[in-house]
A and B are shown apart, each in its own frame.
Chain A
Amino acid sequence: MAEEQKESKPPGESKKRRTTMFLVLVVITAAVSALVTALLVNIFERKQEAKNPYLRVVDVTEDTVDSAMWGSNWPREFDGYKQTVQASSTNFGGGDAHPAEKAEKEPWLTRMFAGYAFAIDYRDRRGHAYMLFDQEHTRRVTEKPQPGACLHCHASIIPAYRFVGKGDVMKGFEEVCAMPYQKAHDLLDDKGNKLISHPVGCVDCHDAKTMELRVTRPGFLVGIKAIKEHQGTKDYDVNRDATRQEMRSFVCGQCHVEYYFKGDGKTVTYPWSNGLKVEEIEKYYDDMGFTDWKHKETGAPVLKAQHPEFEMWNQGIHARSGVSCADCHMPYKREGALKISDHWVRSPLLNKSRACQQCHHYPEEEIQARADLIQQRTHTLMRRSAAALVDMLDSINDARKAGAGDEQLKAALAFHRKAQWRLDFVAAENSMGFHAPQEAARILAEAVDYARQGQISAKAAPRPATQLGK
């Protein structure tokens, strides 16, 4: 202002200057207040986020199998669950909307599964959202007769068990297992509504009243009791006795396990009463004389490993350190101020920052490289085991052509069963060794050994004299 007074400019000039100055001041103060207000609103929004806006708008019960209903109450978790429709893949798992047959990359699978439904159709996995649809459409189910037991893990099925068992889930479970697949699949309730219409969803892991994790699958309830008894704990009730952190693995272990259909009732059973290791499960099957099918080429009584993720993880360092399935496959994430578990269940390699970096403070590239190394090594070893298995099959076939019978090939066929069980245990397990790298390598080393022993045994098998004379 002082400067202005010194100057002697025409009144018009001074008026113009003042107006300009006034306008500039207005603009500056407006901008500053706008910015401060914007910051204020931003802080307000963040503070609102910190308030837990939980609102139970729909009443869900033990019979609500439609996860969308639960989604009205827990939209953040449901949003994640819905993401499982997305196609995703890593180096050794997954695929696009219509995943390829595994045998395209691993042709030995067709020979290993000769005479079994897995030789017809065996594709890479898709997300949880497709578990029921894919089961309905796989040629293993459409072309081969399957029991209702299959639905144990592919559908939100507990209400159906309860209905069929007239309130008794265990009884209903046994009855549905024994039904033909289609009959079980098309079960209707009193009102004529389909009982089985949704893949595994909220109600299968969460208590409808408290949201606590709980195990619902009869197969797991019985299986975990058996292994706990083997370990010396009597009368183990997983829903009563497990810790919260254990439950974060057990709910996944309800289905991601090795199982078989017991007897004519086709009851889904987890073979855990000797332990969870590959040879302990094998002993269980050997002791009861169980065979999944007779191998079409060699006639060996062989086993099919299902998807023993829970068993394999149990032998690994992550399980040893108390890290649960959910810690890596459903890691915590922040939405606003809420810490929620990511219900987009998927490979941790697709979500390395949240899944791995919480504990492993390394760049994502380093984490990926470590996983790659483990999986590449396992894969190389798996291919070696497969080559050994195929060589053994050839040798047994040759021996048969030369006239050797079951009696002469008894030892070779026993080796076939052992080798194939181990190779399949690693191949069917979804992690390419990552869940327990050393254990996977140990199992594959045994597979190679048994396959080569089987090959030697077949080559040495005595041929009938007439055949030898030719």
Chain B
Amino acid sequence: MRVLSARKLVALVAIALGTGLGVGLFTFTYARGLSYFSTDPRACINCHIMNDEYDSWGKSSHHATARCVDCHLPHDTIPKYIAKAENGYWHSRGFTFQDFHEPIQIKPKNSRILQNNCLKCHGDLVHDIVKGSTTDVTSVTCVHCHASVGHGPTR
């Protein structure tokens, strides 16, 4: 094999990295990667698993006041992006390999985030009945009873 000069090697590496970057960027755009940095609820149905949740949210009582992220993500910047990254990982993994439980179920951490967000708006109203921890696994969460305020069951 002929010896490759350092310059040629650099060129080849550049080509290879450029190709990878190109394909990667295209994939990112094609998969509407930027939309995940927005607060647009339509980003949540880029993949179609949550179509039902999206559709029923449109008919729910919270439709006019809260979008997906208002209930499902922390409101502070750093915890929000940590949650986004974590959910993004599980969602893409599940959607790519199609190996998740259906109907989809909320994870304990996301359940706690949700409960905190209920209280963020309604805390003043309900502080008499939610003394102490409301996100503990043994406590009753708001959506235990108010199950369809965000999005109803699929029928």
Please give the residue numbers on chain A whose beta carbons come within 8 Å of chain B beta carbons, in ascending order.
Answer: 1, 15, 18-19, 21-22, 25-26, 29, 32-33, 36-37, 39-40, 42-44, 46, 49-50, 245, 323-324, 327, 332-334, 337, 339, 353-354, 357-359, 361
Contact = CB atoms under 8 A, between A and B. Distances in A.
Nearest to A31: B20
B6 A29 contact: no
B9 A18 contact: yes
B111 to A, nearest CB: 10
Interface of B: 1, 3-4, 6, 9, 12-13, 16-17, 19-20, 23-24, 26-27, 30-31, 47-49, 51-52, 95-96, 101-103, 105, 147, 153-155
Contact of A327 (B1, B12, B155): B155
Given A29-B19, A39-B27, A327-B155, 8 more contacts: A29-B20, A33-B20, A36-B20, A43-B31, A50-B48, A332-B154, A353-B102, A361-B105
A354 B48 contact: no
A381 to B, nearest CB: 31
Contacts of B16: 25-26, 29
A465 B105 CA distance: 76
Given A33-B20, A33-B23, A337-B51, A1 B6 contact: yes
Contacts of A37: 23
Contacts, number: 75
B26 A18 contact: no
The 8 closest A-B pairs by CB, nearest first: A29-B16, A337-B48, A40-B27, A15-B3, A359-B153, A43-B31, A36-B23, A358-B153
B90 to A, nearest CB: 16
A40 B17 contact: no
B52 A339 contact: yes
Given A1-B6, A22-B9, A49-B48, A357 B103 contact: yes
Nearest to A49: B48
A196 B24 CA distance: 60
14 contacts: A18-B4, A19-B4, A21-B9, A25-B16, A26-B16, A37-B23, A44-B30, A46-B95, A332-B154, A334-B49, A339-B51, A353-B103, A358-B153, A359-B153
A195 to B, nearest CB: 37
A353 B96 contact: no
A43 B27 contact: yes
A43 B95 CA distance: 9
A342 to B, nearest CB: 12
B69 to A, nearest CB: 22
Contact of B154 (A26, A40, A43, A358): A358
B59 to A, nearest CB: 14
A164 B42 CA distance: 55
B94 to A, nearest CB: 12
Nearest to A1: B6
